[in-house]
Amino acid sequence: MNSTRSLHVHKVALVGPAGAGKTTLAEALLANSHVIARKGRVEDGTAVCDFEPEELARHSSLSLALAAYEHEGHKVNLLDTPGLPDFVAEVEAALAVADLAVLVVSAAEGVTGQGETLWRVVEQAGIPCVVFVNKLDHERADYEGTLAQLRATFGPTLAPVELPLGAGPALAGIADVLAEEAVSYDGGNPAVGPIPDTLAAREHEVHDDLVERIVVADDGLMERYLEGAPPTLAELSATLATGVAARAVVPILCGSALRDVGIDRFAHLLGELAVSHHRVRVRAGDQELELDQDAAGEPLARVFKTIVDPFVGRISLLEVLRGTLRPDIQLVNTRTHTEERLHVLESLVGKTTVPLAEAVAGDVVAVPKLHDVRTGDTLAPRGSPVEVEPIPISAPSLSVAIRARTTGDEDKLMTALQRLQEEDPGLRVERNDETHQVVLSGMGETHLQVALDRLATKFHVATDVEPVRVPYRQTIATASAAEGRHKKQTGGHGQFGVVHLRLEPLERGGGFAFVDEVVGGAIPRQFIPAVEKGVRRAMTHGGALGFPVVDVRVIVDDGKHHPVDSSEASFEQAGALAFNEALDKAAPIALEPISRVEVLCAARFLGEVLGDLNARRGRVLGSDQNSRGEQSIVALVPTSELARYGVDLRALTAGNGRFRAQHDHYEPLPGHLLERLLAAEKEGQKATAGATR
């Protein structure tokens, strides 16, 4: 695979729920084009696109895999994506670069909730789509039932262009609705013949409907059709491709990837229907521009995926947006403004690499060992400061706090997490300075568990997991006053400082105010900042509740000092003592964070979602229907009730629901919940103390 200049280059994303047979379909396409000798199997770990240890252990795709093949003058870069809902970020990355999406649906399972979710993700990506109904050889296969489900769920733009000959174990071939001919696979090799009499009426009905859907895209063809002149097969095929590119029609193809029924036809149609992008949208400063996707233009590429290999190091997958890349070409990373030399260009077939002499616009290429390149970076010629828009990735829905199991791994943990985040766009890592936790966020329980497994197997860092602490606060209900006295004599200079202060509540969100009302030099001017420092220190975990204190005014109005023994340290300590005593007198109130939550789900789940939000102490502000017919619900929900909301919402809505949340404000924590919280913290402290003895 030395040059692609003479080939039509395409990027095709295979998407679909787990178990639909995407990876088996990829294997069948690779075997059909003789890239591999025979199909591997997901179940026994021989599939080309499933090679990570975690994928082999779970018999399921967990990462975006790339596999390229050539067929009939086309080079197709297959982007095989995971079907589990926890790994939707990998799907989003694939769709951001793909020319065509293939939604793979099982004829035995029909349209599932995850299938609906992935259809929505494809729609949001705004790229053409075809549907492949797989597993027609399954004993529970129901093509007509699946077809009815597809149209009822996804709309009238879906149009079958193939029908199965037989069903289940008796599957014999495919009926081509456009050409009105049957392709039989009984003898192994495809044999073309007439449509069987048992299917003729149904095929003729589907053919007429399909022709009418196609001709409406071409005024001239439509006029001739209405005048009684039937369009030719070539005209129908060309107009169908135009309709697919405009997303006006979604063809439904069918077959069995396991038994290679219809795979040769599917490979042929992919070449016809996967039309490459012709324009590239970029940013140059504050301007948005569109560039031609011209193989002769200046080279431009975007990193859409990073693979961290324990032996090779970092491998960057690049989408060639413009121009032609050749080995040793030098481009500038427009994020870092540093030059990168692309020493080696490779095409991938799973984990197998094939050297490339060049890669033209529209292709994807793997480049190992770039210096400082991340997913989403743009590589452009020097003096061309353009950037490609970032790849949109869904926000994580579940978080855990992690810590290194051994002291020796503490230094390695953050480095390993950073590399893991580079490889997996759906992960987020942050260090919370308030709770002193390292928080790992992902799309769900499986996603996070796979990340922890990879930390252990790929980076040799063992971790322990604990719940993410909620950042509670406290404030005061009434004004109070107190004196803090710090006196210590140890020989020589002692320590002496007395501070008298008053606390007053501020309105919610008022923050903190420090007021100096000391007169007559009771506290010398140079020690007032030390008093404030002590107050601020005490506010971080003050009083019996131990939560940070907010919305309070502190007024220092009197004190005492000693000409020899007073110091900044003395008044800092006295300020902290005075604040803590005044806090206990001021009727402290625990505050809990409240998040503003927007939930999107199918209308049929509205009742369940509303009931669940109420059970989480949420206050629904309103609901509406968006342009896609989904219900949008806005509510205020205590942040503590959202720890597992992403997982629970997915279960509640059969994988259909999603949400986003952001901090809104703080509200008083109900007394019975405060008692429960303090009791739980006390038990946790006992357990920690017992473990350290």
Task: Answer yes or no: is 394 within a domain.
Answer: no
What's the rounded Cα separation, in Å, for the pair 180 and 196?
A: 11
Residue 392: count of CB within 10 angstroms of its CB: 13
**223: exposed, middle or buried (Cβ count in 10 Å: 0-12, 13-18, 19+):** exposed
Q: Residue 352: which CATH number?
A: 2.40.30.10
Span 227-244, pLDDT tens digits: 888 889 999 999 999 899
Q: Would 150 be classed as within a structural domain?
A: yes
Predicted pLDDT at 690: 54
Give the end of a domain, one of 541, 570, 586: 586
Out of 466, 497, 518, a domain closes at 466
Q: What is the DSSP annotation of 192-254?
A: EEPPPHHHHHHHHHHHHHHHHHHHTT-HHHHHHHHTT-PPPHHHHHHHHHHHHHTTS-EEEEE
**What are the tens digits of pLDDT across the range 443-455?**
989 999 999 999 9
What does the pLDDT read at residue 687? 54
Integer Cα distance of 117 and 654 in angstroms = 10
At residue 132 the predicted structure's pLDDT band, cuts being 50, 70 and 90, is very high
Higher pLDDT, 481 or 190: 481
Average pLDDT over residues 595-609: 92
In a domain, 692, yes or no: no
* Alpha-carbon dihedral sign for residues 331, 334, 340, 344: negative
d(CA 173, CA 165): 5
Closest CA to 61 of 40, 77, 76, 47: 47
Judgement on whether residues 291 and 313 belong to the same structural domain of the protein = yes
87 φ, ψ (degrees, to nearest 5): -115, 30
Q: Mean pLDDT throughout 295-303?
A: 89
pLDDT at 309: 78
Within a domain: 499? yes
Contact by Cβ (8 Å): 484, 122: no
Query: 124 with 222, same domain?
Result: yes
Query: Which range has the top average pLDDT, 136-140, 387-391, 435-439, 491-495?
Result: 136-140
Within a domain: 574: yes
Say if CB 571 and CB 527 are below 8 A apart. yes
Burial letters for 553-579: b for 16+ Cβ neighbours within 10 Å, e otherwise?
bbbbbbbbbeeebbbeebbbbbbbbbb
3-state secondary structure of 187: coil
Tell which wins on pLDDT, 362 or 686: 362
Identify whether residues 183 and 324 lie together within a single domain.
no
Check residue 692 and give its pLDDT.
46
Together in a domain, 215 and 347: no
Among 539, 552, 480, 550, which residue's Cα sits nearest to residue 513? 552
Say if residues 260 and 185 touch (Cβ distance below 8 Å): yes
Lowest-pLDDT choice from 169-183, 525-539, 607-621, 648-662: 648-662
Residues 133-138 have a mean pLDDT of 96
- Quick one: 57 and 164 in the same domain? yes
3-state SS, residue 631: strand
Q: Which pLDDT value is given to residue 491?
A: 65
Query: For position 587, what pLDDT does the model report?
Result: 92
- What is the residue-wise DSSP string for 101-159? EEEEEETTT-S-HHHHHHHHHHHHHT--EEEEEE-TTSTT--HHHHHHHHHHHH-TTEE
User: Do 623 and 479 reside in the same domain of the chain?
Assistant: no
pLDDT greater than 60 at residue 402 = yes
Domain end point (choices 361, 388, 415): 388
**pLDDT of 288-298, one tens digit each?**
877 877 888 88
Same domain, 177 and 65: yes
- Asked whether residue 689 is assigned to any structural domain, the reply reads no
Give the CA distances from residue 145 to residues 106, 111, 511, in Å, rounded to whole numbers and listed in that order: 11, 10, 61
Distances (CA, A) of 430 to 86, 435, 457: 20, 11, 22
Letter for the amino acid at 372? D
User: Closest Cα partner for 582 from 502, 491, 497?
Assistant: 502
Q: Is the pLDDT reported for residue 492 higher than 80?
A: no
pLDDT at 691 over 60: no
Tokens of 241: 């491709």
| pLDDT band, very low/low/confident/very high, at 573 (cuts 50, 70, 90) | very high
Look at the chain and report how many structural domains it folds into. Answer: 5
Helix (H, G, I), strand (E, B) or coil at 413: helix
d(CA 478, CA 412): 48
- CATH number reported for the structural domain that contains residue 657 in this entry: 3.30.70.240
DSSP at 52: S
Q: How confident is the model at residue 3 (pLDDT cuts 50, 70, 90)?
A: low
Reported as a pLDDT band with limits 50, 70 and 90, residue 54 is confident
Tens of pLDDT along 173-195? Answer: 999 999 999 999 986 688 999 99
Contact 388, 279 (CB under 8 A): no
Q: Give the span between the Cα atoms of 520 and 213, in whole angstroms.
A: 91
pLDDT, tens digit (0-9, with 9 covering 90-100), for 331-372: 999 999 999 999 999 999 998 999 999 999 999 999 999 988
Give mean pLDDT, residues 564-579.
94
Q: What is the 3-state secondary structure (H, E, C) of 454-465?
A: HHHHCCCCCEEE
The answer to whether residues 130 and 190 belong to one domain is yes
Claim to verify: residue 560 and residue 444 sit in the same structural domain = no
Query: Of 394, 267, 242, nearest to 12 (Cα)?
Result: 267
Contact 47/27 with Cβ under 8 angstroms?
yes
pLDDT of residue 38: 77
Full domain range(s) for residue 409 = 404-466
Q: Give the pLDDT mean for 597-623.
A: 93
Report the percent of the chain where pLDDT is more than 70: 96
Q: In what order do the strands lie in the sheet with 495-505?
A: 480-488, 495-505, 552-560, 512-516
Q: Is there a domain that residue 477 lies in?
A: yes
Asked if pLDDT for residue 572 goes beyond 60, the answer is yes
Question: Residue 359: its pLDDT value, please?
Answer: 93
Average pLDDT, the chain: 90
Tell me the backbone φ, ψ of residue 405, rounded to 5 degrees: -70, -30
- Please answer whether residues 340 and 330 qualify as being in contact, where contact means their C-beta atoms are separated by less than 8 angstroms: yes
Residue 36 and residue 138 in one domain: yes
State the Rg of the chain over Cα: 32
Residue 531 inside a domain? The answer is yes
**Are 314 and 422 in contact, with CB atoms under 8 Å apart?**
yes
What is the DSSP annotation of 377-390? -EEE-TT---EEPP
d(CA 173, CA 179): 15
Q: Are residues 288 and 359 located together in one domain of the fold?
A: yes
Are 516 and 527 a contacting pair, CB within 8 Å? Answer: no
Cα(333)–Cα(321) distance, integer angstroms:
15
Q: Which residue has the higher pLDDT, 532 or 602?
A: 532
What dihedral angle (degrees, nearest 10) is formed by the CA atoms of 323, 328, 332, 335? Answer: 100
Provide the pLDDT confidence category of residue 688 given band limits of 50, 70 and 90. Answer: low
Summarised one tens digit per residue, pLDDT across range 6-25 is 678 899 999 999 999 999 99
Can you tell me whether residue 426 is helix, strand or coil?
coil
Look up the pTM and report it. Answer: 0.85
The verdict on 207 and 229 lying in the same domain is: yes
Residue 156 — pLDDT band, cuts 50, 70, 90? Answer: confident
Using an 8 Å Cβ cutoff, are 474 and 580 in contact? no
Please tell me the chain's helix, strand, coil percentages from 3-state DSSP, rounded to the nearest 5: 30, 35, 35
Q: Which residues contact 467 (CB under 8 A, 6 or more apart)?
A: 400, 401, 643
**More confidently predicted of 591 and 47:** 591
